[in-house]
Structure 1
Amino acid sequence: MDPIGASCISFHFQENEEAILKEQQQDEKFNQIIASCRSLSYYDGKTFKTYLPQVIAAFVAALYHVAGGISASYSGILMPFLQRNITNDTFDSDLTATTAECSWIASVVVLIVPAGAISGGFIMDSIGRLNTIKLATVPTILGWCLIAAATNVNMIIAGRLFCGFGSAWGTIPATVYISEISRADLRGALVSFTPTLASLGMLICFAKGSFLHWRTVAWMANLYVVVSVVLLFLIPESPAWLISKGRDEEAAASLRWIHKYQPQPQNRNESMAELQLDFMQREHRKKLAEQAKKGKFGAKAKFNMFFTPIVLKPFLIISGLFFFQQFSGIYSTLFYSVSFFEAVGTSVNPFLASVFLALVRMLGSCANTYMLRRFSRRPLVITSGIGMAISIGLSGLFTYWIKAGTSDQTWVPVALLVMYVVTCMIGLLPLPWTITAELFPIEIRGVANSLSFSMANVFMFGAIQSFWTMDRLFGGMAGIQWFYAAVAFISSIYSFIFLPETHRKKLTEISEYFLTNTIYLGSTKSAGKLQHNRVSKEHSAELNIEQGETLLVNGKD
């Protein structure tokens, strides 16, 4: 073969090799771009071990709710003693309370919560979610000591005030923390730890109150506060909060702990923790750039942001849901549990009935953990309201017949109230608290959650404080139960019209929904919803890998 022909063939082969190599490089770039476009949830392990750290962290953070549950239900075991002057020794012989004083003892614990919630929101955004829970031990322990050593009703009321303040600081940050460290598909189930553990605290309180002196119960309540706070030192702070404070190294360590059992992501050199950190840092830089255009994001900026659609709309919707929750009797029947059972005319021991109801509430919370992961939010709330209306409405009917002497089936109201508790645990009790943790953007999440909790407690105070007034207004316990039934039914209609679906939605998607929608019925697609453009293989060589990384917009918040 002549030299010219040989060189041409050699050049041809070389050209082919270069083309093949170039095509391989294009394929590699294309695969990297496709990998970067995937949602971080694509790389999440699907075994229990992979999300075990999130479960542990959520459980430990929510453990303070046991103390909160004891505080909430304590008036139920205390007031029968004060009203009837039932004592175990001579020290309490002069400690009695009127009906008005008992109303304040029951309701004052939630009256102070708005102040605690709002201040706690600023504190948790300043010093962190877990540090705020630790700080809550101070007012809580002081409150229980005042109650246990009380020599008059005013000391009990003061102690209840401190306990309410501590409950706000200890429980609200836990809900925010869990929503920030959990996967989107696990968030609802993990947040439901909070009502489950609160229900456990109620069960403990009623069980102890049935055979222990109320002062002993108060002293022992401090134990649950101390244990829950000590365990907080075993889990890391929220990485989202750490990044918002520029503490990236601590955030990286927190993410490594949270994702320690995650497998190595396919076709990626980075670990799951590194991918998550990179995404959160870029999202934070993007938010800082947006804030820089608008000025420093201080108290004034947060105040202005509160009136934007992505904050104000969910706040109004969740406030309405909290109103129906409170005036459907969910917490009134708890705070006045023993007195309530006595008033419905049942022959069952009211203390034992309260213990049994608390047990049902706790088991319902455990079942709700599964249901929140399995089912959508809206159907649960709607079904819950209808079930509550039917059960407590029928309970009111039997109460009326028993009081009128036309029925001797005194066990029926207890059975129907058990059904009432079961149906409320399906949705209307836990879901408003759960949804609140999902609705607000990170920049104002602490404050917005605190304001929502404050509204819930304002409504709770009104419902509890007005219990005996409604008893007189509606002609007894039967009328109160019918009122609760009507409110529960209206809550289902309200949820059907206004409540958006948040199940398996990313926090950014939820915020985007409120940009263009208020009423869920007939709602349009979120105008801000981001979609990936299709990238053809033949043009992939022109794309830079960094440009591909910017398309990773569907990662977890």
Structure 2
Amino acid sequence: MVLLSTFVAVCGSFEFGSCVGFTAPLHNVIKDDLGLTLSQYSLFGSIVSIGAMIGAISSGWIADFLGRKATLRVSSVLCIVGWLAIYFSKGYILLDLGRFCNGYGIGVFSYVVPVFISEIAPKDLRGGLATANQLMIVTGVSVAFILGTILNWRTLALTGIIPCIVLLLGLSFIPESPRWLAMAGRQNKFEAALQRLRGKDADILKEAYEIQDSIETLQHLPEAKMLDLFQRSNLRSVIVGVGLMMFQQFGGINGISFYLSEIFATAGFPTNVGIVLYACLQVPVTALGAILIDKAGRRPLLLISALGLFIGSTLTGISFYMKVNELSPQWVPLLVLTGIMVYVGSFSIGMGAVPWVIMSEIFPINVKGTAGSFVTLVNWFGCFVNSYTFNYLISWSSYGTFFFYAFVCALAFLFVAKVVPETKGKTLEEIQASMNT
């Protein structure tokens, strides 16, 4: 039941990836088909992040008020509406409206999916199952990339509806988060849901007591407001969560993935070949990260990832410097491909998934909604800034853009080494207690 529940939840992650990957293989096609200017297309590519920011602001409140399952349903319906608006669009207004709806839906998904998984999973499987969130995101991105080289953009929009339908159907067969049920005071449903997740013959008394005791303690505390996140007891968790999300985004990932076809075209590498190679690399490397996260731990994967991102960004920056200055131009396409592949492989093994896993672990349940919304908002704000400015940065200096990303990735390495704790093999209650010591 844990595996089934995780599979259903990560259909939302696949939908997330479908939305993110939609623009990359179709950059010039949509722009030319609807006669969009550079600024109009930059807005279309990045408005998904604006919707996601608003979704992030409300995601914690919605998930705490309606429950995790109902929140997943709401997000699915919004994404379906968004894809239909894109499919029927004749100009940029309906196109942007649809993209905004997609953004709101995936902004909520980006919070509630990892939280739901962390709340249903046993501690020895939690890291790997939570990483399935990122695995399905990159699978969704990869499928969108590959289908985008085959299908026209309107048909590709319709394929984005499929994971939403699977999610809506699957929610009928899985239990609600036991921790949310306990928080909502639904004692009988809490015990029944935990028993379903652990197996009919499993002894749940100890785990049920720990969850109930933790929640009863926390419920004596006042309801968390945004300013409460900056109190001393929560400050370390906020620094870790916000810091990881900022480094994840300002390292350049969404600018690169949104406009991947333009990067390869500028470097003189065959666009479709580059996109397919990028898509095929993401999934197995993310799967490897999911296998390693509960064995190697969170910190080692983040450190390896940050170092690889630095190397990939530097190689890509060097290749564009060579192109601008006409130094060995025959090597530029291959060096760009190498840099981008090192970059995406490094992101997929650590910096893509692990920040979301840690975010779902470090906040106590009484502040999880508020804190999760804030951290997710920071992530999507970074995504918006990165995706909106990428075209302008590339126009200013192609190699300077990637050297800037390399600098950010170097700072990320230092941040992980000095600030981020290891959470492998601990219960959520143990992690949250250790963050306050």
Q: Quick check: TM above 0.5? A: yes
Structure 1 unaligned blocks of 5 or more:
1-52, 86-91, 263-270, 292-296, 516-525, 527-557
Q: Partner of 1:81 in structure 2? A: 29
Q: For the Cα contact (< 8 Å) 1:361–1:422, is it kept in 2?
A: yes
> Are residues 202 and 255 of structure 1, via their aligned partners in 2, closer, same or farther at CA, if it must alter by over 3 Å?
same
Q: For the Cα contact (< 8 Å) 1:236–1:254, is it kept in 2?
A: yes
Does 2:305 align with 1:384?
yes
Q: For the Cα contact (< 8 Å) 1:378–1:495, is it kept in 2?
A: yes
Does 2:215 align with 1:284?
yes
Q: Partner of 1:451 in structure 2? A: 374
**Rg comparison, structure with higher value:** 1
In the TM superposition, what whole-angstrom CA distance separates every residue of 1:172-204 from its partner, at most 9, and x where no partner exists?
Answer: 211111111112221111100111001111111
Q: Partner of 2:149 in structure 1? A: 210
Distance 2:200 2:293 in 1: 24
Distance 1:147 1:273 in 2: 47
Q: For the Cα contact (< 8 Å) 1:346–1:413, is it kept in 2?
A: no
1:133 deviates by 0.2
Q: Partner of 1:68 in structure 2? A: 16
The DSSP-based 3-state class of the residue aligned with 2:425 is coil
Q: Partner of 2:347 in structure 1? A: 424
The size of the alignment, in residue pairs, is 435
* Structure 2 counterpart of 1:69, one-letter code: G
* Structure 2 counterpart of 1:279, one-letter code: E
* Structure 2 counterpart of 1:309, one-letter code: R
Structure 2 unaligned blocks of 5 or more:
none
Q: Partner of 1:225 in structure 2? A: 164
Distance 2:346 2:274 in 1: 17
Q: Partner of 1:346 in structure 2? A: 268
Q: For the Cα contact (< 8 Å) 2:315–2:338, is it kept in 1?
A: no
* Structure 2 counterpart of 1:287, one-letter code: L
Identity fraction in percent: 27
* Structure 2 counterpart of 1:116, one-letter code: G
The structure carrying a bigger helix percent of its residues is: 2
Q: Partner of 2:187 in structure 1? A: 248
1:406 deviates by 2.6
Q: Partner of 1:311 in structure 2? A: 234
Distance 1:309 1:171 in 2: 27
1:303 deviates by 4.2
Distance 1:314 1:240 in 2: 20
In the TM superposition, what whole-angstrom CA distance separates every residue of 1:93-148 from its partner, at most 9, and x where no partner exists?
Answer: xx111111121111110112121122121111011101100111222111111111
* Structure 2 counterpart of 1:274, one-letter code: L
The 5-angstrom pairing of residues 145-224 of structure 1 reads: 145-224=84-163
In the TM superposition, what whole-angstrom CA distance separates every residue of 1:450-496 from its partner, at most 9, and x where no partner exists?
Answer: 210111110111111111222233x2x22211111111111101211
- TM-score, reference length from structure 1: 0.75
The DSSP-based 3-state class of the residue aligned with 2:22 is helix
* Structure 2 counterpart of 1:406, one-letter code: L
1:67 deviates by 1.0
Does 2:414 align with 1:493?
yes
RMSD of the alignment, in Å?
Answer: 1.8
Distance 1:439 1:126 in 2: 21
1:230 deviates by 0.9
Q: Partner of 1:399 in structure 2? A: 320
Counterpart pick for 1:433 among 329, 351, 356: 356
Q: For the Cα contact (< 8 Å) 1:137–1:166, is it kept in 2?
A: yes
Counterpart pick for 2:72 among 133, 146, 149: 133
Distance 2:174 2:180 in 1: 14
- TM-score, reference length from structure 2: 0.95
Q: Partner of 2:285 in structure 1? A: 364
Distance 1:482 1:307 in 2: 33
In the TM superposition, what whole-angstrom CA distance separates every residue of 1:369-426 from its partner, at most 9, and x where no partner exists?
Answer: 0111111222221221112111221222123223433320222321221111111222
Q: For the Cα contact (< 8 Å) 1:108–1:161, is it kept in 2?
A: yes
Q: For the Cα contact (< 8 Å) 2:144–2:156, is it kept in 1?
A: yes
Give 4+ residue runs of structure 1 displaced > 6 Å after superposition. none
Distance 2:257 2:125 in 1: 29
Distance 2:339 2:143 in 1: 23
* Structure 2 counterpart of 1:82, one-letter code: I
Distance 1:231 1:339 in 2: 38
Counterpart pick for 1:259 among 195, 198, 201: 198
The DSSP-based 3-state class of the residue aligned with 1:331 is helix
Q: For the Cα contact (< 8 Å) 2:12–2:76, is it kept in 1?
A: no
